[in-house]
Copies of this chain bind each other. A is one copy, B any other.
Amino acid sequence: MNTHAKRIKDLQYMLRKHGLDAMVMGRGLEVGFLTGFYLEDCVMLVSRVDAWVFMPKMFVDHFKSKVDFAAAVAADPSAADRAAAKVKELKFKRAAFQPEAETYKRGTAWRKAGLIEKDGLIGALRAVKEGEEIENLRKSCRIAARAFGIVRPHIKTGRTEMSVYRELEDVMQSLGAKGPSFNMIVGFGPDSSMPHHETSERRLRNNEAVLLDYGCVYENYCSDITRTYFHGKPTEEFRKVYGIVAAAQKAGLARVKHGVRTRAVDSACRDLIADAGYGQYFIHGTGHGLGLEIHEFPRMNTVVEAVLRAGMTVTVEPGIYLHGKFGVRIEDSVLVTKTGCEILTETR
């Protein structure tokens, strides 16, 4: 069976398990996950036995030529209205919409049409990767990791952050990537201390930190990697901070395994950094799931409760930020396995 047809079957299995008759989805990403056809302005309706995609007329011919396991329905001007009419026509009693994925306006309309709230089903399906998805993620991560080895030797005194950004992009594309997977960060010196730095025209000087937080999209799948190093002779403080972050990342990676709580991974990193006296400078979560989106379920931080499962892909990325001075973050994307994890962004 086709990968996407199988995903729809998996969702239909979950609908039965959760006592639902049907579910509506409006995000292009979700429609793409279930059909292979990434479309905005569409609404997909999946019942226990059928699947429809309500879409602007202009997409119908193309969709039909690619997908035979979900019905394409021309629905100008409102795909949502047509989907609601279908729910009514088929007298679904327990049809659900996703309160975190729909806008308040559209969710209110779904409620009026008698639909109920149910989050997390598609998120759970998407979180555990299978077959081709894992291959695409492996390739996406391998491209990002290889780019570091190619680009790093060219990062010399006088280069601008933006020129390095573009070289990373070009190299990843020459290795087969479609493009960057997010608004990547190249930060030199104090710029490395800002987790939200916007890559600028600043030039690299002798003896300062270099932070590269980047990744690519390959066949719709995102990779994410951060490398930090010192350009020149590292100061004692940089050495010390780098050592702590590296040890924290190692501790976090060592905890990643099927069945482990995400907070346990976060604690492993956080406790090590706190014990070293830098707790207040680790100012973000330890990692996040990634796949079709650069940030997806599960988040690994001090707040969210979730359990890792084999097949999930997550980042592990502790950091220490000394504002105005320098920051160190070390990040890898990993595949969770039964016995631990496989690092997908290994660099030499």
Contacts and interface: CB of A to CB of B under 8 A. Distances in A.
A128 B168 CA distance: 36
Interface stretch (A45-53, A96-104, A134-142, A257-265): A96-104
Interface string A24-57: 0000000000000011000000000000000011
Contacts of A114: none
A116 to B, nearest CB: 12
Nearest to A119: B105
A170 interface: yes
B62 A194 contact: yes
Nearest to A103: B100
Interface in A97-149: 97, 99-108, 110, 117, 119
Given A62-B197, A196-B39, A56 B284 contact: yes
Given A99-B104, A104-B110, 18 more contacts: A38-B198, A56-B284, A58-B196, A59-B195, A61-B194, A61-B323, A61-B324, A62-B197, A77-B301, A77-B302, A97-B104, A99-B103, A99-B105, A99-B108, A100-B103, A100-B105, A104-B107, A179-B179
Interface of A: 38-39, 56-59, 61-62, 77, 97, 99-108, 110, 117, 119, 166, 169-170, 173, 179-180, 194-198, 283-284, 301-303, 321, 323-324
